[in-house]
Each structure stands twice: as structure tokens, then as C-alpha cells.
Amino acid sequence: MLGGTFDPVHLGHLRSAVELREVLGLDRVHMIPAHVPPHRAAPGVSSAERLAMLRLGIGETPGLVADDRELRRQGPSYSVDTLASLRAELGTRARLIMAVGHDAFLRLAEWRDPEGLFTQAHVVVIERPDHQAPLPATLRPLLAGREVTSVAALMAAPRGGLLRLALPTRLAISATGIRRRLAEGRSVHYLLPEAVRRHIESRDLYRGDGAAPGGETR
Ligand SMILES: Nc1ncnc2c1ncn2[C@@H]1O[C@H](COP(=O)(O)OP(=O)(O)OP(=O)(O)O)[C@@H](O)[C@H]1O
Ligand SMILES: O=C(O)c1ccc[n+]([C@@H]2O[C@H](COP(=O)([O-])O)[C@@H](O)[C@H]2O)c1
């Protein structure tokens, strides 16, 4: 599972998903847009629009799945609930992994039921060149006894481990940077899939004048 606000999805997300699949030897990577992101302000663009962009971005990429399960739940999109739903589908013995970028990981102790995340899944932390803050002390109790240093050690069990991973391709691309460029009328070519860029252009999203048609209700 690679969850995100995906506001909008970009090549940092998609390339990471492809490399996670290759490096960890995964059957699938479910990219799951948060319907109601729990720890940030509501996005200016609806979850339906963010899902549509994710579908365009994934296209026919082997092994990547645009998973809309969080859009079918009401209330904050807590990851522990999403993992429980994936775990129910997979059964107890399958390996399940929640991947998060380093920036998201820094706040993991503030998430709903952090211990419960490890009951359902492994956590893999993706290094980001644009986010390198040191780990806060609040994370230490959560890491104790869980951190492993190799893919093989992680994959030996179905859940409960934590691995920090430097993927081969590290892209300093963020949705914030893309939204900012669009609001300023600057180019976003080659930061996100061309189909997504065209969709944004045709729907006048992220223009910065508060009139984006995709923004509003969830
Ligand atoms: N360039 C990247 N490389 C690796 N992981 C990333 C990258 N961008 C985002 N992620 C991770 O993907 C997940 C979803 O990210 P999110 O949708 O919040 O994108 P973002 O670019 O961080 O957005 P924003 O700038 O709006 O916060 C998070 O775990 C995040 O850390
Ligand atoms: O479950 C939580 O409490 C929780 C708190 C903050 C973030 N998350 C999830 O972490 C993922 C990345 O979040 P974000 O805000 O970086 O897009 C996304 O799937 C969020 O739903 C989950």
C-alpha cells in the first residue's frame, strides 16, 4: 500500500511505486488516495478528481493499482483501517507492506493507533532527497525491536517490521511544488505524467484563483 493525498499524483510517487515493487518483489502496489486526509487541511481538489488523476497517471503500468477503497469510507481516512481491510482480503499469512515517504514517517507516532499499523503490516520508509530531517525522539519507542536492515529480513515475516529504504531513483518532486508552479503559471512538464498534466490543464485545476472546478466537497 502506498497511500497519499495525491494532490496531484506525480513521478516521485509513481517511480517509487514501480521501484518498491521491483526491490521488494511485490505482486502489486495499491496506490490509495486519502478521501479525508487525517492530518492535513482538506485538499482544494476533490477525492474523485484526485483518483481520476491517479488512474490516468498509472495507465497500464504493470503491478500498480489505483485503489479507491478510502473513497468508499466516511470520516478521516485512517491508514490502520485501510490496512485492516487489505489484511482481511489477503489473509493472515501474506506479506503486507505500508510504504511512506520520510516526511510522512516523521509524524507516524501521531497517527491513529501506530502500534496497530505494525499488527497489520510492515512499514517501509522511502528516503526523499527533499526531506531529510532527523527522526524525532517520539518515534524511538515505535521503532524499538522492529527495525531491520535488509529486504530479506523484512520479507521473512508477514508483518511487524520496519525498513528504511533508499530506492535507486530518488526524485525531489513534491505535489506542493507542482501546485505552486501551476498557481504561478509556470511549467510542470516532466514532473508528472503527461496525461495528468493535460487533465489539470483541461480542467483548469490549481490555478490559484480559488475557482478550480475540481475543488470543493469530498
Ligand atoms: N518524491 C517522492 N519520493 C518518494 N516518496 C514520495 C515523494 N513524494 C511523495 N512521497 C510519499 O508519497 C506519499 C504520498 O505523498 P503526498 O500525496 O502527500 O505527496 P507530496 O508530494 O508529499 O504532497 P504535498 O507536497 O502536498 O505534501 C507520502 O508517503 C510521501 O512521503
Ligand atoms: O492513519 C493516520 O492517522 C494517518 C495520519 C496521517 C497520514 N496518514 C496517511 O499517510 C499517507 C500519506 O499522507 P500525506 O498526508 O503525506 O499524503 C496517506 O495515505 C494518509 O492517509 C494516515
* Residue to probe by mutation, ligand 1, list 32, 174, 196, most atoms within 8 Å of CB: 174
Model confidence at 218, pLDDT cuts 50, 70, 90, reads: very low
- What is the ipTM, given to two decimal places? 0.99
Burial tier of 197 (Cβ tally within 10 Å: 0-12, 13-18, 19+)? buried
- For each of the domains in the chain, give its residue range(s) and CATH number, in order of start: 2-170 (3.40.50.620)
> Three-state SS string across 62-129, please?
CCEEECCHHHHCCCCCCHHHHHHHHHHHHCCCCCCEEEEEHHHHCCHHHCCCHHHHHHHCEEEEECEC
User: CA-to-CA distance for 90 and 160, rounded, in angstroms?
Assistant: 16
Q: Which residues line ligand 2 (CB under 6 A)?
A: 3-5, 34, 37-40, 77-80, 100, 104, 111-112
Question: In the prediction, which pLDDT does 195 show?
Answer: 98
Which residues are within 8 A (CB) of 54 and not within 5 positions of it... i.e. 6 or more apart? 6, 9, 31, 33, 66
Atom of ligand 2 nearest to the CA of 107: 6
- Strand 64-66, strand 147-148: pairing: unpaired
Closest CA to 77 of 45, 39, 29: 39
The answer to whether residue 60 scores a pLDDT higher than 60 is yes
pLDDT in tens, 160-187: 999 999 999 999 999 999 999 999 999 9
Q: Is the pLDDT of residue 216 over 70?
A: no
Q: Is ligand 1 within 6 A of the CB of residue 191?
A: no
pLDDT at 143 over 70: yes
Q: Which residue has the cell 489505483?
A: 66
Phi, psi of 69 (to 5 degrees): -65, -30
Instruction: Give me the pLDDT at residue 123, please.
Output: 98
